[in-house]
A and B are shown apart, each in its own frame.
Chain A
C-alpha cells in the first residue's frame, strides 16, 4: 500500500465518521423508530467501487468503532457491526456478480443492513415479536439505499478520475 493510498483511506474513514456525526446532530426520521438515512454509507458505497474489498472492510470497521466510541455506546456498536458488516458482505458479493447498478447494490446493502440489525435485536431482547418490524425495515432500507445509491452514483463518476495511488 502506498502512502498516498493510506492517506486516501484515512480521509474516507474521517469523512464517514463526520457523516455519522452530522446525522446524529440532525436526525432525518422516517416515521419508524430508529430508522435513519445512513449518510456514512455514501462513503462506503463509493469506496467499494474504487478500492479493493479488504480496504473497504477496514474503513467500515474503523468507522463503526470510532462512531460508537465517540458518539454512542457499546450496545450501539453491536447493532452497527451486525448491520454494517452484513450489508458490506452483500454489497461486495453483488458488485462482483455485476448484475445491478451502484443504486441496486446500495439498495441491497440498505435492506440487508436493517435485517442484520433486526436479527441482533431479536437475539438481544429474546422476543420474536420484534420481527414484526421486518416489512417496515425492508421498505426503509429500500428508500434509504436508493437515495444513498443515487448520490453515490453521481459522486463516483467524479471521484473515479482522481489518482488514488
Chain B
C-alpha cells in the first residue's frame, strides 16, 4: 500500500505546509483595526472592528451580511449556493480573510491596533 518514497513525499508536503503556516501565522499575529470588503477585486468599503455593526452587501452577484461583534467579524448570512463563507470562524487578526467565492467577495482584516492610537499630540 505504501512505498518508501511515499513517506518522503508525505514528509515534504508536511514540511512545506508547516513552514508556510508558521510564516503566515507570524504575519497574522497582530490584532487588526478594521475590515475591508472587496468584490471582484474592486474596493467596496472599510468598517472599524471596534464598533459593533452589521454590513449588508447587496450587489449584482448576490447578498451577504457581515456582522462585527466584540472586535471580530463573521459572515452571518449569504445567499450563495454553497454557504462556505458562513463556515469561517470569526476573523480579527491582521491579514485574516473570509471569502465568498460565488459572489467574488473578500472580507479581510487590515491595519493594526496601534495605527488607531495617536503617537503624540502636537500642541
A residues sitting closer than 8 Å to B (CB atoms) are 29, 33-34, 72-73, 75-76, 79, 99-104, 107-108, 111, 121, 124-127, 129-130, 132, 134-136, 138-139, 141-142, 146, 150, 153-154
- Give bound CA distance, A42 to B47, whole Å: 45
Q: In chain A, what residue has the closest Cβ to B38?
A: A127
Q: Are B6 and A103 in contact (CB under 8 A)?
A: yes
Tell me if B76 is interfacial: C-beta within 8 Å of chain A. Answer: no
Chain B interface residue count, Cβ-Cβ cutoff 8 angstroms: 35
Question: Contact: A108 with B9, CB < 8 Å?
Answer: yes
Question: How far, in angstroms, from A53 to B5 measured CA to CA in the complex?
Answer: 23
In the complex, chain A residues whose CB is within 8 Å of the CB of B21: 135-136
Interfacial residues, chain B to chain A (CB-CB below 8 A): 1-3, 5-6, 9-10, 13-14, 16-18, 20-21, 24, 28, 38, 40-41, 81-82, 84-85, 87-88, 95-97, 99, 101-102, 104-106, 108
Q: Is chain A's binding surface mostly helix, strand, loop or mixed?
A: helix
Please tell me if the beta carbons of B87 and A33 are within 8 angstroms of each other in the complex.
yes
A29 to B21 alpha-carbon distance, docked (Å): 20
Residues of A within 8 Å of B18, CB to CB, are 135
Distance in angstroms between the alpha carbons of A130 and B18 in the assembled complex:
17
| Interchain CB contact under 8 A, B41 and A126 | yes
Please, which residues of chain A bring their CB within 8 A of the CB of B99?
A: 33, 121, 125, 127, 130
Q: Are A104 and B97 in contact (CB under 8 A)?
A: no
Closest to B83 in A: A33
Which residues of chain A are near B40, meaning CB under 8 Å?
125-126
* A75 and B10 contact, CB distance less than 8 A: no
A111 touches B13 (CB 8 A): yes
With A33-B87, A121-B99, A130-B99 already in contact, the answer to whether A107 and B24 are too (CB < 8 A) is no
